Chain A
Amino acid sequence: MFAVAGTVPIQNFPLVAGEVFLEDDNIRIREMRVPVNRGTPALLAAAVKACEALDQGAPFGYLVGDIGLGDGSRKLYEYMTGHLDKFDFQSKHGTGLKAITFHYLQPDVDWHNRVLFTVKEMKKAPILIADAGFMYAAKMSGKAAEYDFFTPDVGELAFLADEEAPHPFYTRGFVLHEENRIPELIARTYKYKNGARCLLVKGKQDYVADRHGIQATIDSPMEEAMEAMGGTGDTLTGIATALIGTGMEVMKAAIIAARINRLAGYYAKPTPATRVMEIIKHIPTACNRLPV
């Protein structure tokens, strides 16, 4: 089993922990429902669909409302420091936590460090995955190398590569990064120890890399419109998390997830106005078309 921790864009949404299901374009966690537009709900919806195709149980979610004020995120950080190590008791199947993905959370270095410490204290540390705001905090804390998997887009890679940038907004010089600088940005990311063990750089082409450089490039099928769509990076991280949750090796999962996400996008025939749920619906078909 794997878990996902993140926020939903509803101010008073309470902190909820439990298995996550997908019903009528909404994710359901306990009795709470959230529309799938982008962000952590999109990640979880994609993971649910991938789990269906992989014949896996439902993902476990830790969700809270936060519209950017950070109040919900801090509540969730605090909850995780007190509860993550008890995950085995929460897991229905008692299989423990194989992987955990931290997602749209307000970047907060102090809370990040406390959560990371809690995870490291677990009897069997899960595979650690970070994306979005939590990845920013992981990099800011100087502890990126303790993670197994980051899923930045090209702009976020430029942020990881800039050892002084506190946020992608302040990335020096390489913010309007050309794709042909990606090998250089990856090398710089690892030089300053700001990369996880494996990186999946999402973009026009997807790159899977480690500290030795680019190990795989996935570029087909290509749907240009996906760049404009909110949530397509979240679905990719969700699919990768689901694959890693089966016990698959991280780099292999990254490569297969990139292919599945692209294929689901291809089936959706998107325009820049397409909503991400249209892609999520095609994930099971895409999973079944690829040898997983």
Chain B
Amino acid sequence: MSFSGFFKQKRSETGDNQNIDRGILVFENTSEVIRAESVLKSEGWKIKVVGPPPEIRTGCDLVIEIPLIEELNILRTLEKAGVSPLETVPVSSPLLQPVDLFQNKDFGKYLMIRAANMKLTIDKETLNIVNVSGGGCPDVPYLAQEMVGKTMAEAPAPREIGHTLCGYALQLAYEEILRRCSL
């Protein structure tokens, strides 16, 4: 069976909404996929090596299927092991892209940066993080608790303590603020 046939069969068996919380990690080459698989399995992650849909083939015939909600944690595990993927794509639609644009709102003394569903607000003079809002995953209140009241230099980066896509979105807002601070 072709890779595309495999995916079509899987979707028709499970219904369109059943797999949309799954994603795939795309790597540079097969040996990286295998390394990543053994790293993740040894850490206890429930992942599968599968064939990629044709739309996102990058010359590699394998990708790793993961629960998307655990993406940040899994990426951290792989980064530690020195085997980071090229990209993560939701299984249900390879056309879906993570946010790569930001919105900002200037409140005078304060600046709010929004990435996807997460917003990070700082005091422009002191660089104190004054609020975190948006999101719906349970690490959002935790991230807010650990970051609010600290300066950008003191606060942990969301990717260090976050675990979900909301945490990942907050990381993007955090990086955008760092980028603006360095201008």
Spell out A's residues near B (CB within 8 Å): 7-9, 37-41, 66-70, 72-73, 104-109, 131-136, 140-142, 153, 155-156, 159, 164-172, 175-176, 224-225, 227-233, 271-273
CB-based contact B119/A169 at 8 Å = no
Residues of B within 8 Å of A273, CB to CB, are 110, 121, 123, 130-131
CB-based contact A66/B138 at 8 Å = yes
The smallest beta-carbon distance between A212 and chain B, in angstroms, is: 24
Residues of B within 8 Å of A167, CB to CB, are 21, 68-69, 165
Q: A68-B142, A172-B95 known; A272 and B137 CB under 8 Å?
A: no
Q: Among A105, A224, A228, A232, which residue has the most Cβ atoms of chain B within 10 A?
A: A228
Query: Knowing that A68-B139, A69-B73 are A-B contacts, what are 20 other residue pairs whose CB atoms are under 8 Å apart, sorted by A's residue number?
Result: A7-B141, A9-B139, A66-B138, A67-B163, A68-B138, A104-B136, A105-B138, A109-B21, A132-B135, A136-B136, A164-B92, A164-B93, A165-B20, A166-B96, A167-B68, A169-B99, A170-B97, A228-B121, A230-B133, A272-B121
- Which residues B125-172 have CB closer than 8 A to chain A? 130-145, 148, 161-169
Q: How far is the CA of A229 from the CA of B18 in the complex (A)?
A: 34
CB-based contact A68/B98 at 8 Å = no
Q: Does B15 contact A (CB under 8 A)?
A: yes
Q: How far is the CA of A134 from the CA of B69 in the complex (A)?
A: 13
Q: How far is the CA of A233 from the CA of B169 in the complex (A)?
A: 18
CB-based contact B138/A153 at 8 Å = no
Residues of A within 8 Å of B167, CB to CB, are 68
Spell out B's residues near A (CB within 8 Å): 15-18, 20-23, 68-70, 73, 90, 92-93, 95-99, 101, 103, 105, 107, 109-110, 112, 116-117, 119, 121, 123, 130-145, 148, 161-169
Residues of A within 8 Å of B163, CB to CB, are 67-70
The smallest beta-carbon distance between B32 and chain A, in angstroms, is: 24
Residues of B within 8 Å of A9, CB to CB, are 138-139, 141-142, 144-145
User: Taking CB as reference atom, which chain A residue is nearest B164?
Assistant: A68
The smallest beta-carbon distance between B173 and chain A, in angstroms, is: 12
Query: Closest 9 A-B residue pairs measured CB to CB?
Result: A68-B139, A132-B136, A68-B163, A39-B141, A142-B17, A9-B142, A273-B130, A168-B117, A67-B142
The smallest beta-carbon distance between B53 and chain A, in angstroms, is: 13
CB-based contact B165/A228 at 8 Å = no
CB-based contact A166/B138 at 8 Å = no
The smallest beta-carbon distance between B90 and chain A, in angstroms, is: 5
Residues of A within 8 Å of B165, CB to CB, are 167-170
> When the two chains form the complex, which single residue of A7, A68, A166, A228 contacts B110, counting CB atoms closer than 8 Å?
A228
Residues of B within 8 Å of A69, CB to CB, are 73, 163
Residues of A within 8 Å of B92, CB to CB, are 164, 166
Residues of B within 8 Å of A132, CB to CB, are 135-137
CB-based contact B136/A156 at 8 Å = yes
Residues of A within 8 Å of B17, CB to CB, are 140-142
CB-based contact A153/B134 at 8 Å = yes
CB-based contact A224/B107 at 8 Å = yes
The smallest beta-carbon distance between A161 and chain B, in angstroms, is: 13
CB-based contact B138/A175 at 8 Å = no
Q: A164-B92, A169-B99 known; A104 and B116 CB under 8 Å?
A: no
Residues of A within 8 Å of B134, CB to CB, are 153, 155
> When the two chains form the complex, which single residue of A8, A136, A172, A231 contacts B97, counting CB atoms closer than 8 Å?
A172
> 23 A-B pairs, CB-CB below 8 angstroms?
A7-B138, A39-B138, A67-B138, A68-B139, A68-B164, A69-B73, A104-B137, A105-B138, A107-B137, A140-B20, A166-B22, A168-B165, A169-B168, A171-B116, A172-B95, A175-B101, A175-B116, A225-B107, A227-B133, A228-B130, A228-B131, A272-B112, A273-B123
Q: How far is the CA of A175 from the CA of B116 in the complex (A)?
A: 6
Q: Among B92, B110, B123, B135, which residue has the most Cβ atoms of chain A within 10 A?
A: B135
The smallest beta-carbon distance between A200 and chain B, in angstroms, is: 15
